[in-house]
Amino acid sequence: MLRGTGATLTLVGGDVEALTRWTSAARSAGFTRVAVAPGPAALTGEALAQLVAAGVGALRARLYAADSGAHDWHAKLEGSFRTTTTLLRAARALRVPATVRTPLTRSNARVLAALPGLLVDVAAVGWCVEVIAEDEREPAGGLVPRLGVGLPYALQAIAAAERAGLAAAVEGAPACLLGPLREREVPSPARAFAGCCDDCGLRGGCVGIDAGYLQRFGAGELVVRGRTAAEPAAPGPRARRLQDMFSGPCLEIAEGACWPI
């Protein structure tokens, strides 16, 4: 049974008809807001306008890069960049708040710096870079970057996004590798921990590291912090805002429209 808690429910995948039906059900069940997260083919602006009329109040999109070549390669769909950015511009025209997620890969880390400018142009309200886990649908390690190489690019891009006025977050990264941007991390399911993590003062607030990554590369990139390492007592206003944008219940309502990773 669908039961809301006053939170935002994100509907993943689905066509306009199904999304309209589920939006009505979600609002009746008590969710104060419904967001839609279409797959690589996105939605047309007309479809989004219909969904807004039916009660949809937010858009969740995914962009791998600020150019069609890199984005479409990751999305495994030619034209995905064009349809996704067209949808984001339609959301801007309809005044529908849109957030964007970007999985961090070996192939997009070095070009992430171009994304904040595009996201500001389409008036996205928030951006989250995801540290991905090994994916069974890909050759092992084919997309996952070494954290010591890829994550600094992500953190630099997040800092640039903030300078441009865009709220930016990171998900799935070991806390010891975030430096002064630890408060930008949004909650995600816990991963694995290395033996050295037992002595780390940040463990209580750390998501850990992907088990497949740990097995492949070991724990050499992790930086164990002393027991006296400062733990954030409670999420500040910025952290709460990012959590509101990038956490919350999701409902996958259709097969065939999901992202490859």
> Which parts of this chain interact with ligand SF4 (CB under 6 A)?
174-176, 193, 197, 200, 202-203, 206, 208-209, 222, 224-225
C-beta of 165 vs 226, nearer to ligand SF4: 226
Q: Mapping DSSP to helix (H, G, I), strand (E, B) and coil, where does residue 14 land?
A: coil
Closest CB 181 distance from ligand SF4, rounded Å:
13
C-beta of 69 vs 152, nearer to ligand SF4: 152
C-beta of 87 vs 129, nearer to ligand SF4: 129
Closest CB 194 distance from ligand SF4, rounded Å:
6
Q: What is the DSSP string of 179-234?
A: GGGGGGEE-----B--GGGGG-TTGGG---B-HHHHHHH-STT--PPPTTSPPPSS
Closest CB 222 distance from ligand SF4, rounded Å:
4
C-beta of 115 vs 154, nearer to ligand SF4: 154
H or E element, residue 58: strand 56-62
DSSP-assigned beta bridge partners for residue 185: 170
Closest CB 219 distance from ligand SF4, rounded Å:
8
Please answer whether residues 61 and 37 qualify as being in contact, where contact means their C-beta atoms are separated by less than 8 angstroms: yes
Calculate the dihedral angle through the C-alpha atoms of 184, 187, 188, 190, rounding to the nearest 10 degrees: 110
C-beta of 164 vs 211, nearer to ligand SF4: 211
C-beta of 48 vs 131, nearer to ligand SF4: 131
H or E element, residue 81: helix 80-94
Closest CB 146 distance from ligand SF4, rounded Å:
15
Closest CB 193 distance from ligand SF4, rounded Å:
6
